[in-house]
Structure 1
Amino acid sequence: MIGDWELGKLKIYQTHTFYDAKTMTKFFPGINWNRKKILTILLLSISGCVFYLLLVKLKLMFPLTELPEVLCFKGCSARQKLHTPPAGNQLLNYDKPIEKLAGATYDKQKFSLLIEKSKHRLTLYYDLKPLKSYAVVFGSNPKGDKYREGDKKTPEGILHIRNLYSHPQWSKFLWLDYPNPDSWRKHFQAKLTGKLAWHIPIGGEIGIHGVPQGADEIVDQRTNWTLGCPSLKNKDVDELYQWVQVGTVVEIVP
């Protein structure tokens, strides 16, 4: 047999009748149905979500999906250098097309890039073996790692190409995944140690691109002119564009 208490609950579900806090407490003892408290909790939850999304949009906070890596719960072992730089300071095989260096058969996933800031050199690798180098310039404040928006520095570390597309001013744009979890970790460490104020965002929109049309001398003269992006001659970034893809590893070292 169904008791009166169970029948009361069934009526609530069947009729969808609104019951005040006193009635609900009668049917469900032990639960506080204070409407003001519930409304307060809902409003605080919604406000917190909106505030968090605003912080993410302003580059003041990282996405929650990156939390384990930012806090070193996973994938936080000491980063080892991936590439062995070519000997000397010269540009390796610069006058040779990549198609002759790579051979007839190749796996596009095995291409990677090493950027040496101090040598103004970007090198394309295949299976971690250097194939070809290009001259490259950087942000107008090139020394040191990037920690914040507007510092005109080029980030260092292991990055990846997140997208690539034609650019109306600089021929091509190989968009890098800065900031990544490692970038966020360094950014917050700088804030915790007092090197950065807490209101300063981390920045973004870093990519490898060309130069304004007809301005190759910028690269020849090693003029660091960007806001932080590595910059190649247009014909060089055009060639490179054909051999990399989304996910290609880009290692940037001092």
Structure 2
Amino acid sequence: MKIPRQVKVTIFAITILSLSTFGLYLFLLRLGYLPPFSAIVCLNNCPATSNLHTPQQGNELLNYNQPIAQIIAPANIDKTKTSILIEKSKYRLTLYHNQQPIKSYPVVFGKNPVADKLREGDFSTPEGIFTIKDLYNHPNWSKFLWLDYPNQTSWQKHFQSKIGGKIKWSDSIGSEVGIHGVPAGGDNLIDNRSNWTWGCISLKNQDVDEIYQIVQEGTKVEIIP
């Protein structure tokens, strides 16, 4: 059956419009103005998340002066059982193995360390449960453990904040949040609890180097107030 020319033109126009719309969506997604499809379905009703870790009591740093190799034999470390808890109020990152805390490290945060991250440029460190999606050497901060911010829960908080008037509708959610070291000679930033990042978690280079050896893509990172 021959398809009429007018129908062909209509199909062509619809195809071009669909591609243009999808291209616009990808553009806005890349800029952080729209969520991925996987997050759209639960913007108003994302599943509740429960805490992964039981925090230590007190403010001390567990086993900080001991190398990991002296705490747990390298042969006994299973990276699939490693996870991280970050407590913003205690400036503490604790490494867990098989749900047991094994070592803590001092850390600092974004320039606005108390608030949860809601948008790009608020200088806050996000709270919630994240996953390391990549890890690599960094030219300025030793190592970078890249977190999957924004995830579904992040997008839910972002849009709820827009609806509630906490942030502008023109605000982007932001991205590129991770765990990394400090500039060369910058250990004093950690010692003095100087919150210097745009929202990332920062620790001494020798510490991030050690953590880097026993985590992997897929490692869970829980960040709490």
Q: Tell me which amino acid in the other structure corresponds to 1:140.
A: K
Instruction: Report the counterpart of residue 50 of structure 1 in structure 2.
Output: 23
Q: Which moved more, 1:140-149 or 1:190-199?
A: 190-199
Greater radius of gyration (CA):
1
In structure 1, what is the Cα distance between the partners aligned to 2:4 and 2:53? 68
Cα deviation, residue 64, structure 1: 1.3
Count residues with an aligned counterpart.
Answer: 224
Which ranges in structure 1 are unaligned for 5 or more consecutive residues? 1-8, 13-18, 22-32
Q: Write out per-residue CA displacement over residues 66-109 of structure 1, whole angstroms, 9 at most, x where no aligned residue.
A: 3334454xxx3322111111121010000111122223423211
String of CA shifts for 1:118-158, please: whole Å, max 9, x gaps: 11000000111110000000001111110100000000000
Correspondence 1:151-170 to 2 at 5 A: 151-170=122-141
Structure 2 counterparts to residues 130-149 of structure 1, below 5 A: 130-149=101-120
Superposition RMSD in Å: 1.6
2:165 corresponding residue in structure 1: 194
Match of 2:72 among 89, 102, 114: 102
Distance (whole Å) between structure 1 residues aligned to residue 20 and residue 77 of structure 2: 52
Greater length-normalized contact order (CA 8 Å, ≥ 6 residues apart): 2
Q: Aligned to 2:89, what secondary structure does the other structure show?
A: coil
State, as a whole percentage, how many aligned pairs show the same letter. 55
CA distance in 1, matches of 2:196, 2:110: 6
Q: Point out the more displaced range, 115-124 or 49-58.
A: 49-58
Structure 2 gaps of 5+ residues are: none
Question: Aligned to 2:183, which of 202, 207, 212?
Answer: 212
TM-score, normalised relative to structure 1: 0.83
1:176 corresponds, among 132, 135, 147, to 147
Match of 2:53 among 83, 86, 95: 83
Q: Which of 91, 95, 120 pairs up with 1:124?
A: 95
Distance 1:100 1:167 in 2: 27
Name which of 216, 229, 243 aligns with 2:214.
Answer: 243
Deviates more, 1:187-196 or 1:111-120: 187-196
Q: Which amino acid aligns with 1:96?
A: Q
**TM-score calculated relative to the size of structure 2:** 0.94
Deviations 1:151-178 (A, max 9, x none): 0000000001000011010000000000
Residue pair 1:175, 1:206 contacting (<8 A) in 2 also: yes
Checking the alignment, whether the CA contact within 8 Å between 1:137 and 1:222 is kept in structure 2 is yes
Question: Given that residues 102 and 126 in structure 1 are in contact (C-alpha distance below 8 angstroms), is that contact kept between their aligned partners in structure 2?
Answer: no
Against the structure 1 CA distance between its residues 53 and 77, is the aligned structure 2 distance closer, same or farther, given a 3 Å change threshold?
closer
- How many Å separate the matches in 1 of 2:113 and 2:16? 46
Query: Which SS does the other structure have where 1:84 is aligned?
Result: coil
Give SS of 1:118's match.
helix
